[in-house]
Chain A
Amino acid sequence: MSSDAGPGSETGRAGGAEASDIDRETKAERIRELLATEGDAVAANTRGFNEGRYESTGRLDGYEALKAEARSIKEDAIERLPELIDEVRETVEANGGTVYLADDAADANRYVREVAAERDAERAVKSKSMTSEEIEVNDALAADGVEVVETDLGEWVLQLADEEPSHIVAPAIHKSREGIAALFAERFDPDDPPETAEELTMFARERLGDLIEDADLGMTGANFIAADSGTMLLVTSEGNARKTVTATDTHVAVAGVEKLVPTVEEFSPFVELIGRSGTGQDVTSYISTLTPPVDSPVPDFEDDETPLAADPDGAASDREFHLVLIDNGRLAMRDDETLKETLYCIRCSACSNACGNFQSVGGHAFGGETYSGGIATGWEAGIEGLDTAAEFNDLCTGCSRCVPACPVGIDIPWINTAVRDRINRGEADPSQLDWAFEELVPDEEPGGLDLATRLVGNYATLAKLGHETAPVANRLANAGPLRALAERVVGIDRRRDLPEFARESLVDWFEARGGPAVSETEATREAVVYPDTATNYVDVERGKATVRALEALGVRVRVPDLPGSGRPPLSQGMVATAEAAAEDVYAGLAPHLDAGRDVVVIEPSDLATFRREYERFLPSESYERLADASYDVMEYVFGLLESGADPAALRAPSEGTGPVASGKRIAYHPHCQARTVEVGEYATAVFERLGYDVRVSETECCGMAGSFGYKTDYYELSMDVGEPLREQFGDTDRTVVAPGTSCTEQLDALLDSSPRHPIEVIAPRE
């Protein structure tokens, strides 16, 4: 598959706006097309799954403990993988089966073809397996004249339609019922064409039932395999995997080596988590735990008068079992610190369903050769290579809503960031391990890195420049010809409003007014308000509101000049630049931490960077110190009120007039990353404490996600991701609040209202 991100094309990209212009158009067109054709079906299904996940995991006692247990089983299993491969070979062979460890897809297919040839197989029936899609075994068998029939209803529909899965668990979610009915009518021309879901299902059940009866070979995947017994676990709902195994005398299971766990007992947490995390089912209809060859008699559908159980002692001996374990890049991923975590993935699809972009376009845009959704970047980079990952990797905006959804706690946004960094650097060889922690100065991002990436990545510098030249910069920035140029060269969509830079920064304002206003003796606490780039240079009012609110609650506040957090470069995969920013921020804050001051953060994405990514950039002691001392501003206010501060010092709903005070009723969209670091609920709590009535948005991410929605390729997608927010808050008479700067831009575009930061609503007036 071709890609523009390969090392060879770097010079071409950096050199000409023409080339990237064309790429952008193609990508944008593809996304537009998918939004129009498949978007509605994908959105309805994935959002349903996602709501189901919240409900089902909410019912589960000890959910977080189970996730931790599942994570630790996977860590242990991947650590001991070579040993487990040896063990499972012994146990499967002792059971009478065969194990083949295939180096790659071709090796696996060669083995499966040999098995089929030995058994003179004319037809293979197959239950759903992503690994078998990865190796494209259907094509390999078809080349030998073996007919392969997919028996999962969704996979069968795709096989008939000659389409690719759009979702790793529910492969045909992009197909509507009407589309399937039309497909069946066209392919089979039945007398009484099935139309309802029930009729379509029964039609498929009968057709596939006949095909299964005459099949010679049964192929399955495996969700987990226990090395101690050779037991494989299959998670299904339809019963097709059961029929596939039972009705055929030769069972071939194809599974990645990472599916091994040490013992049968360790299946348990995964069984409890996988359905809940994926489609929101507490457990799927069938959890098959097979220790093949299975003990069932092989039904003879031709001689149908002989009792099934004619030979009670010899039933199992008629059966053959082949376990084909696939490496195909996995053992190399195990040695790659960034990609290794991917091997913990249990393919539940939670990261797809929780993802705003995925909900809008599905796996046909947000996916590679086989895998889709956030974790696909890890799989595709490890199995296919960086070029494939590069085709869709920037659809991960880093909103991080997949992080709490992942049942094995994979930091999926980080894998996307780190792979993006490799793509930026044109690294084709993922075995170079130290790349992330090299002592690289920020200015040494690779020369071929495209201009859009660098501009966004250096937003802190740009914002400072913009503020210093504010009157001119603001006028120029929104001038037509310049916007056209920005769109063509840098890819910033001209339908977006650009941030207007303030003439006086928050830091300058604070210094000009004379520094801290609460004396050391009066102060209940001392805090540093972190002047994030957006607050300091663009939205200074929310910074001033923060200072007023904290001072009203008796906090001695300082606003020192501090560098940007590194969030913008991080979003562009500029890891070395972000790491340097982390070190600078920590250096600037260290004297304040030494003095026992709290760090109050207004922009949620910056707080999330302190609490999540800085763990990778700073020495652990420094990281923990900063993470422990830093607070979201609404979290901080909540804490002050809980510790006895007087809520009367803040603005209650009844006071004053004007658009803000007119409403006791608030519509609140918590920032995606704030929810991931679990500070999203404090604003609600504070509002309610002060007597406001709050309605909280149910949307995972507004769709702007930092710089994502500014990009021309993604403007329509970004607006589509925000659509549920428009539906929920579109005609509300409530005062809309949102703490994230980019959320504010998006809500402005979606609702045509200018939301404020929650602190601006509750801070006392100037």
Chain B
Amino acid sequence: MPAGERTIMALADASTFTGRLDELGVAVSAGPPAECAAMIDAAAGEPAVGVPLARSGPDAFADSPATLPDRVGTDPATADLREAHTGVTAASLGVAEYGSVALEADAAGTEPVTLFVDRHVVVLRERDIVPDMPDAFDWLGPRARDESVDVVFATGPSATADMGGLVHGAHGPKEVHVVLLRDGDAADDASGPGDEPEVDR
């Protein structure tokens, strides 16, 4: 696909994605990777724990200027998790039509950090948004077969209607905030073509 066409498609997906998040009551901050820490800082409550983005998301975060703010403690113990208001992790993928984010369980503790907290702040690169559910499962299939990955497609906050009305935060987070990292600026592109996610768009 020519580069220009690809950008337009990606923009359309990002717009669909943020529209769905809005309907789900999920707040969104969007900006370049260099502003990632500031966006997280504004979105996260106190205290906050997290997993370094390169350890919980795509490898490309290792070379990205996107980082966690200092006040987000990494490598938490269960006591920190109990205390934490907010958990910050990266997501591997976004699904535009549904407003879903793919959270990968890993040894660094992404799964508990996204789950045992009141607010989950999730960092996603705009380029990792795919249009629809079949694209997400085309992405998952090879990784499940080859790497035995464990992925949760999370859409909005935890919810229940079992107690006589819709309530958010049944067991998991009551709120979700997505920090969307815009492509296209020089700093991010500098990380090179090798970091493209293996997604057929």
Which residues 74-116 of B sit at the A interface, judged by CB distance below 8 A?
75-79, 81-82, 98, 100, 104-112, 115-116
Cβ of A271 under 8 Å from chain B = yes
Q: Which of A271, A279, A288, A303 contacts B152 (CB 8 A)?
A: A288
| CA A154 to CA B171, docked complex, whole Å | 13
| CA A623 to CA B145, docked complex, whole Å | 46
Closest 4 CB pairs of A and B: A177-B164, A239-B172, A197-B165, A238-B170
Interface string of A118-130 (1 = CB under 8 A from B): 0000000000000
Cβ of A308 under 8 Å from chain B = yes
Shortest Cβ distance from residue A216 to the other chain B in the assembled complex, whole angstroms:
16
Other than the given A267-B140, A304-B82, 19 more pairs (CB < 8 A) read: A154-B162, A177-B164, A178-B164, A200-B163, A201-B162, A226-B144, A238-B171, A239-B171, A246-B111, A267-B137, A268-B134, A285-B158, A286-B152, A289-B140, A289-B150, A291-B149, A291-B150, A297-B107, A304-B78
A204 touches B163 (CB 8 A): yes
Cβ of A263 under 8 Å from chain B = yes
Q: Please give, as numbers and ranges, the residues of chain A lying within 8 Å of B199 by CB-CB distance.
A: none
Cβ of A438 under 8 Å from chain B = no
Query: Given A282-B98, A300-B78, A305-B77: A289 and B153 within 8 A (CB)?
Result: yes
Query: Given A229-B145, A268-B134: A286 and B172 within 8 A (CB)?
Result: yes
B136 touches A268 (CB 8 A): yes
Q: Please give, as numbers and ranges, the residues of chain A lying within 8 Å of B76 by CB-CB distance.
A: 307-308
A290 touches B150 (CB 8 A): yes
Shortest Cβ distance from residue B116 to the other chain A in the assembled complex, whole angstroms:
8
Q: Please give, as numbers and ranges, the residues of chain A lying within 8 Å of B145 by CB-CB distance.
A: 228-229, 264
Which residues 289-309 of A sit at the B interface, judged by CB distance below 8 A?
289-292, 294-297, 299-301, 303-309
Binding site for A on B (CB under 8 A): 51, 75-79, 81-82, 98, 100, 104-112, 115-116, 133-134, 136-138, 140-141, 144-145, 148-167, 169-173
Smallest CB-CB separation from B102: which chain A residue? A289
Smallest CB-CB separation from A306: which chain B residue? B77
B137 touches A309 (CB 8 A): no
Cβ of A283 under 8 Å from chain B = yes
Q: Which of A176, A237, A296 contacts B160 (CB 8 A)?
A: A237
Shortest Cβ distance from residue B172 to the other chain A in the assembled complex, whole angstroms:
3
Q: Please give, as numbers and ranges, the residues of chain B lying within 8 Å of A300 by CB-CB distance.
A: 78
Provide a sorted-by-A list of 28 A–B residue pairs whose CB atoms are within 8 angstroms. A157-B162, A170-B162, A180-B164, A197-B164, A197-B166, A198-B167, A204-B170, A229-B145, A231-B144, A237-B159, A238-B170, A242-B171, A263-B141, A265-B141, A268-B137, A282-B98, A283-B100, A286-B153, A287-B155, A294-B111, A295-B104, A295-B150, A296-B111, A296-B112, A297-B112, A304-B77, A307-B75, A309-B109
Q: Which of B106, B109, B165, B169 contacts A205 (CB 8 A)?
A: B169
Q: Which of B51, B110, B148, B170 contacts A239 (CB 8 A)?
A: B170
B141 touches A295 (CB 8 A): no
A172 touches B162 (CB 8 A): yes
Number of interface residues of A (CB under 8 A): 73
| CA A151 to CA B171, docked complex, whole Å | 9
B150 touches A294 (CB 8 A): yes
Shortest Cβ distance from residue A576 to the other chain B in the assembled complex, whole angstroms:
45
| CA A230 to CA B140, docked complex, whole Å | 13
Q: Which residue among A157, A180, A292, A296 has the maximum number of chain B CB atoms within 10 Å of its CB?
A: A296
Query: Given A268-B137, A309-B75: A243 and B160 within 8 A (CB)?
Result: no
A152 touches B162 (CB 8 A): yes
A309 touches B107 (CB 8 A): yes
Query: Given A152-B162, A240-B171: A286 and B137 within 8 A (CB)?
Result: no
Smallest CB-CB separation from B145: which chain A residue? A229
A286 touches B77 (CB 8 A): no
